Structure 1
Amino acid sequence: MIEHGYLYMQKWNHFTRTPDPRGFLSEQECRGRWHQHQDDQMDWFTVVPAEPSVGTFVRRDDGGFEIDPASAVPSWTMEVTPRGGIAIDGPAFQVFVWDANNRNVTLATYSNRWGGRLFLSEVIYKIFPEPDDFRPKERALANKPLFSNQLHLSPNGEGQRTRIDHSKQTKDLEQFHGVDVEPNWANTPDFGDWEALSKKVLEGNPLI
């Protein structure tokens, strides 16, 4: 299942930390989706790094997956769209960053609409409460974010940031003009060089 340090699948189920019911994909199949259009419109796929303890699960007799209770949460997962939609001029990517409590703290979207160069057009950053602030029976409440920052930017330096206070159910909108968006540009990585984008997202965006 692990090929060159990665797990390939249609979609990552972060609740169970396993692939969705369609299961794993081979690296060869994903390379085919990367290079050649598929008539069934299922050319996108998901990449998960084979970090320590990630992917330590086995297939049950009924065809499902059983996770090792000690299995770790991946630091990131990536959905790859070779073409179509936001992938007009080449592959586009969505990078999901997870914390140790299996919560999606960042979602970064790299669109490809500008002659083959990627642009970080959207970043959603969430702030969660500390699980230890809740009694054991209420720990699930820690999975609900306190605040969210949603940043949308265009290559011309215009955009907006929406700050959401989930407890007060309020939204504050801030418009941008003339922002230096040079850090948002990236070259499209070669197939298999998935760390190139995930590293940029993990290091944080200076505009947040």
Structure 2
Amino acid sequence: TGIPQIFNDEVVVPAFLNRGVSLEDARDYAVVGCVELSIPGRTYGLHDIAMFNLLKVMEIVLQENEHQPDVSWDGLICQIRDKIRHYIKLMVEGSNICDIGHRDWAPVPLLSSFIEDCVQHGKDITAGGARYNFSGVQGIGIANLSDSLYALKGMVFDQQRLSFDQLMAVLKANFQTPEGEKIRARLINRFD
């Protein structure tokens, strides 16, 4: 998946400028791994320091609302947004702890000798020696979250083919209910 990849200078360069990267350096960006962006020889980045599962957030919110009266679409969306913010905060804290751990217990002096500014500043790349320090996270399940929200809104709130608690019961049973396969087919086919 993800092939071919298309990276757009009209978006990438301004994004780097927004993060304090010089125009000359921003124009010299490169792709690291799959989709992570970096400035070669001038950046320290723990790419993929965290994987943020957006669909899991929806699952948590749905479970928290099971058997609650008056579950609404707008209420669920607000709760999902709030929960995403909460978990992003925790993810940032965890990423910062990981950065500290690398600095304190896993310096890389040989690598640092190849990164601009590390030798000049007398600092390891893990201790802030590089010109730029960007750790990256992956937001995973974005398309699945969109599809699931669309299906939830359609089945439960717009068309009212089943109640919220009925949907939760089917999901908890992994569709192994008398109506489960019929509901799964409607969800897969966008309930037409």
Asked whether the two chains share a fold, i.e. TM above 0.5, the reply is no
Q: Which has the larger radius of gyration?
A: 2
Q: Higher helix share goes to which structure?
A: 2
Give the TM interval when normalised to the shorter protein: under 0.3
Q: Higher strand share goes to which structure?
A: 1
| TM-score of the superposed pair, with normalisation by structure 1 | 0.25
